[in-house]
Structure 1
Amino acid sequence: MGGQPESVVRRLRDGMAGGVLSFPLTSFHPDGSLDVEGFRTYVAGQLAAGPGALFPACGTGEFFSLAEDEYRQVVAVAVEEAGGRVPVVAGVGYGWAQAARFARVAEEAGADALLVLPHYLVAAPQDGLVAQLEQLAARTSLPLIAYQRGQVAYTAASLTRIARIPGVVGLKDGHSDLDRLQRLTLAAPDGFLFFNGAATAEIQARAYATVGVPAYSSAVHAFAPEIADAFFAALRGADHGAVDKLLRDFYVPLVELRDRVPGYAVSLVKAAARLRGRPVGPVRAPLTDPSPTDLADLKTLLAAGLDLVGASL
């Protein structure tokens, strides 16, 4: 746990090359309270599947709904369960002052690095986006990975500036604008980390790889690591037939189901994990759990996806 930025970057790079990045769900009891032991069991299962790194308390982990003490427990459990086997990158967000407070908690809990989620509500100019990272970097010793999504989108000139901020080591992209992303990768110094953070990253994984960003996070890993790992192996092995089949018969229908209701990018993932007996519980407001009709469609799709890779529900 912890360590110098160079060591963390090396471990992250090795992890990205060897497996998908896991963004674990946060477990809640039926009454909405934090289920620490359920989360511990769930994270142990995620780690057993061999991800390249663990990103607790991020978007999929409902960072936006966690109280500070709950966040502390979630990060601490992730660090304990990882036991140094993979890097643990905790989410932080809101404005830089709040992000710095969560960063202190994550550092005390033993996290290796931080994923800086998009700031809250307002649009901001490029100078402000750079300053946001400068302010946070000055207040933590942990390496930072910037996340561009929503109202955060860096220009190549800004990427050059943030890459010079001590401690900023990488960028997660959720915009899927490959023209912009190519410009960013060309502007970045050697060794700067990039990874695909689209909502269902496998859909665009081949396209991202063409601009030099082969690493990606996987929401599917949160509930069906067998499918996520099969896709990863097929993609890295250039088995285009297997990639196409998984995309056509599982990932594309999953995205179509996800797009039915706002927030399903998290809610469906959690529902699918529950279908497989994982102790993750419900989502918290403002998210809502899937309707009975959508849940039935999800169960059918999940069973079909698992059948594709020889696993069972």
Structure 2
Amino acid sequence: MPDNAPAPGDADPLGVHGVVPPTVTAFHEDESLDVETTAEHARFVVEGGADAVFPLGTNGEFPLLTGEERDRVVTAVVEEVGGDVPVIAGVGAPSTRETIARAQHAQRVGADGVVVVTPYYYPLDHEAAVGHYQDVCAAVDLPVYVYHIPSKTGNKLKLETLSELATIENLAGVKDSSKDVPWLGQAIDANPELTFLAGSDSLLFPGLEVGCTGLVSAVANAFPELVADLYEAYDAGDEARARELQSTVYDVRRAFKQGPYMAGVKTALSLRGFDAGPLRSPLRTMDDETRTALEDDLDALGVL
């Protein structure tokens, strides 16, 4: 458990804290699923200092996978690192029925918890959001973490909706990627029994400051040691060092963003000698010129 960093909420039986990378899904060159390398990436981040892993988040390209592929990813990651660190598997989908199917599979194969993104595409009102999470939580005996990312789903949870979700028996926490610090601060203040996970690399240190217990970091997919050092410095009470490392994370994040959306992580991994293959179409990898620019930037930062 943390020393100086915020403690997980009492509603969270896993006590999720520290660095929780949203691990990548690897593909072969023809974009078919590479489950072996996907599992190896989970091992890579654990060996780099991750405290838990979150397969099938945004960095895991989950909307581009079939249900069967998603099940294979969860199975492979659980088999690789389950028992070493908690595996909280992304199971969210636009429909409640599909979300429950993925969640029940995750439970069957031994995942420790499930992360449920708010349903996307269709607008979601208070009653629909509450009903969705009630049904998912009733269908499994695992802790359930809300994944709040309104920029991608189009659905932002009201604070009063979150407080009602917090009353559901096995709803354990929230991974917030809204980048809305006032919303996050108020959510933590109103629901101290939940575990909150900072879901943006722009808000790792600030997230800890407002009460997040864990850091779901895309940068940690390629440089887990960097984010683990930031968390450990904060937990040791060395906030000056944690701020300094957050500054480095900002620089790495900016370097990643010079290419196509999400291409930075897999390109940086390849520069470290870990080949997770291409992104699945319509996402694109970096061209040679941008890859070279990224390598130059990361080399100048001293993280390669």
The TM-score, its normalising length taken from structure 1, stands at 0.85
1:197 corresponds to: 199
Inter-partner Cα distance in structure 1 for 2:237 and 2:10: 30
Check whether the contact 1:174–1:196 (CA below 8 A) recurs between aligned residues.
yes
Residue type at the aligned position of 2:186: R
2:4 corresponds to: none
Aligned positions of 1:200-215 closer than 5 A: 200=201, 203-215=202-214
2:277 corresponds to: 281
Secondary structure of the structure 1 residue equivalent to 2:139: coil
Q: What count of residue pairs does the alignment treat as equivalent? A: 292
The answer to whether residue 67 in structure 2 is matched with residue 68 in structure 1 is yes
User: Deviations 1:210-232 (Å, cap 9, x if unpaired)?
Assistant: 32224211212211122222222
2:144 corresponds to: 144
Check whether the contact 1:72–1:109 (CA below 8 A) recurs between aligned residues.
no
Residue type at the aligned position of 1:197: G
2:84 corresponds to: 85
The answer to whether residue 11 in structure 2 is matched with residue 12 in structure 1 is no
Aligned positions of 1:19-30 closer than 5 A: 19-30=18-29
**Which segments of 5 or more consecutive residues in structure 1 lack a partner in the other structure?**
1-5
1:292 corresponds to: 288
Aligned CA-pair RMSD: 2.3
1:220 corresponds to: 219
The answer to whether residue 105 in structure 2 is matched with residue 109 in structure 1 is no
Shift of 1:289: 0.7
Aligned positions of 1:248-267 closer than 5 A: 248=247, 250-260=248-258, 263-264=261-262, 267=263
Check whether the contact 2:22–2:60 (CA below 8 A) recurs between aligned residues.
yes
Check whether the contact 2:11–2:171 (CA below 8 A) recurs between aligned residues.
no
Work out the percentage of aligned pairs sharing the same amino acid: 28
Shift of 1:79: 1.0
Which deviates more from structure 2 when the two are superposed, residues 121-130 or residues 162-171?
A: 121-130
1:3 corresponds to: none
The answer to whether residue 278 in structure 2 is matched with residue 303 in structure 1 is no
Inter-partner Cα distance in structure 2 for 1:51 and 1:184: 25
Which deviates more from structure 2 when the two are superposed, residues 227-236 or residues 175-184?
A: 227-236
Inter-partner Cα distance in structure 2 for 1:127 and 1:257: 41
Change beyond 3 A, Cα 1:7–1:32:
farther
The TM-score, its normalising length taken from structure 2, stands at 0.87
Change beyond 3 A, Cα 1:118–1:303:
farther
Inter-partner Cα distance in structure 2 for 1:84 and 1:259: 34
User: Deviations 1:28-53 (Å, cap 9, x if unpaired)?
Assistant: 11111111222232222222223111
The answer to whether residue 185 in structure 2 is matched with residue 182 in structure 1 is yes
Shift of 1:258: 4.1
Residue type at the aligned position of 1:285: S
Aligned positions of 1:44-63 closer than 5 A: 44-63=43-62
